[in-house]
């Protein structure tokens, strides 16, 4: 079982996309709009394998 830190600010699903030789994870606008995240901050990110392929 995975332990989730009490400092978790956001949890969402996204696909990793390749763009111009880099890999991108798009953050949903709702995470910014609801003050879970800010565009000018740096965050630690964890990647968990999805149970489904979609």
pLDDT band, residue 3 (cuts 50/70/90): confident
Count of structural domains, the chain = 1
Taken as a whole, the chain contains a residue count of 54
pLDDT in tens, 22-39: 999 999 999 999 999 999
Contact 21, 49 (CB under 8 A): no
- Please report whether residue 43 resides in a domain: yes
Scanning 1-54, the segments in alpha helix (DSSP H) are 29-33
Average pLDDT score over residue span 5-10:
88
What is the predicted pLDDT for the residue at 53? 61
Scanning 6-47, the segments in alpha helix (DSSP H) are 29-33
What number of CA atoms fall less than 13 Å from residue 40's CA on the CB side?
0
Domain that holds residue 31: 16-54
What is the predicted pLDDT for the residue at 54? 58
């Amino acid at each position: 079982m995975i332990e989730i830190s009490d400092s978790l600010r956001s949890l969402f699903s996204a696909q990793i996309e390749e763009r111009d030789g880099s890999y991108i994870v798009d953050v949903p606008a709702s995470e910014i709009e609801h003050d879970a995240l800010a565009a000018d901050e740096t965050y630690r990110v964890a990647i968990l394998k999805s149970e489904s392929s979609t």
